[in-house]
Amino acid sequence: MESLDYIDSYFKGELDPSDVATFEQKIISDPAFAEQVATYLSMLQVAKEESDDNKKNKFRELYNQHKASPSTSTIKRMWPSIAVAALVAGIIFGLYVFVKPVSASQFADRYIREQLQTMSVSMGTQDSMQATINLYNQEKLLEALKGFQDILQKDPSNFQAAQNAGITSLRLQRYNEALDYFKQMEAHKELYSNSAIFYQAITLMKRNDPGDSQKAKALLQQIVHDNLSGKEFAQEWLKKM
């Protein structure tokens, strides 16, 4: 703690010029101290990245809102871009016709690998939920699933617990259980954003039993048609499936 206080004072510009020189000399002469300074900066870096990730998530929400209700002035300003984008999109679509289709299972694999490896904790989340999310983030999936199930048992209306239990079941390849949890989520009609249908589609794409691919496709079409959560992914996948 003492060394952290000292390092913190240096980077906050609170040291006298003579103390600054001593600090920098210590970095050169004391490898353990240099290591502590580097760790301090690395911790600052990851905290900044975490903060930036949160902001990007907020930006994503704003962007989704924007796409749902673009203002007239925005449309006017964007019109030339829209025309060009439409042309580009047309060309890209044309190219897709000639490329080999990618399987639904591959999309699901990629999504799970890139989007569902960790869960974030939102403000106001209760301790048991946070502790269980931590288990998930440590890849202790069976323990995490048990934790989410316990929370859900105490509070069957807990949307986040149902969603997290579903995602954990999906990661554990317990597809039927995952589908049950994602269907439970559907009951929460009051929520602005509910990914229940999207997660069901991913589970079906991943399970890949006979008929699953068609069912998943129908769900993805529903997502696009009703402008539901996951629309961007659904549009992208539908083009290539």
Partner 1 sequence: MGIGSSYNISDQEIIEQLRHSGIDKIKSEEQLFNRYVYFIREGMSKHSLTEDDAFDAYSDTLLSAIEKISNGTFEGRSSLKTYLYQIFHNKCVDLLRKKTTNKQSVHRAESISDKYEQMSDPAKTIIQQLIEKSDWDLLKKKLTELEEKCRKLLMMWADSYADKEIALALAYKSADVVKTSRLRCLDKLRQLYKTY
Within 214-233, the residues that bind partner 1 by CB under 8 A are: 232
Q: Does 5 bind partner 1 (CB under 8 A)?
A: yes
Residues 6+ apart with CB under 8 A from 27: 33, 34, 37
Scanning residues 97 to 136, which ones bind partner 1 (CB under 8 A)?
A: 118, 120-121, 123, 125, 130, 134
Q: Scanning residues 11 to 30, which ones bind partner 1 (CB under 8 A)?
A: 11, 24-25, 27-28
Q: How many residues bind partner 1 (CB under 8 A)?
A: 60
Instruction: Assign 152 to helix, strand or coil.
Output: helix
Closest CB to partner 1 among residues 92, 142: 92
Of the candidate residues 59, 101, 157, 238, the single one contacting partner 1 (CB under 8 A): 59
Distance in Å, CB of 200 to partner 1, minimum: 22
User: One-letter amino acid identity for 52?
Assistant: D
- Is residue 228 a contact partner of residue 197, using CB atoms and an 8 Å limit? yes
39 lies in the binding site for partner 1 (CB under 8 A): yes
Near partner 1 by CB under 8 A: residue from 82, 102, 191, 218:
82
Find the shortest distance in angstroms from Cβ 68 to partner 1: 9
| Interaction between residue 238 and partner 1 (CB under 8 A) | no
What is 33-96 written as a DSSP string?
A: HHHHHHHHHHHHHHHHHHHHHHHHHHHHHHHHHHHHS--HHHHHHHHHHHHHHHHHHHHHHHHH
Separation CA 158–CA 181 (nearest Å): 11
Q: Does 1 bind partner 1 (CB under 8 A)?
A: yes
Longest distance between any two alpha carbons in the chain, whole Å: 75
- Measured torsion, CA atoms of residues 15, 17, 18, 20, in degrees rounded to the nearest 10: 60
Cβ proximity to partner 1, 98 vs 211, nearer residue: 98
The conformation of residue 117, written as its DSSP 8-state character, comes to: S
Judged by CB under 8 A, the residue of 16, 17, 32, 69 near partner 1 is: 69
- Among the listed residues 85, 102, 187, 238, the single contact to partner 1 using CB under 8 A: 85
Q: What's the rounded Cα separation, in Å, for the pair 67 and 193? A: 14
HSE value, Cβ hemisphere, 13 Å, CA-based, for 113: 7
Query: Which of 15, 22, 32, 58 is close enough to bind partner 1 by CB under 8 A?
Result: 58
Can you give the binding site for partner 1, defined by CB under 8 A? 1, 4-5, 8, 11, 24-25, 27-28, 34-52, 54-56, 58-60, 62-63, 65-66, 69-71, 73-74, 77-78, 81-82, 84-85, 88, 118, 120-121, 123, 125, 130, 134, 137-138, 232
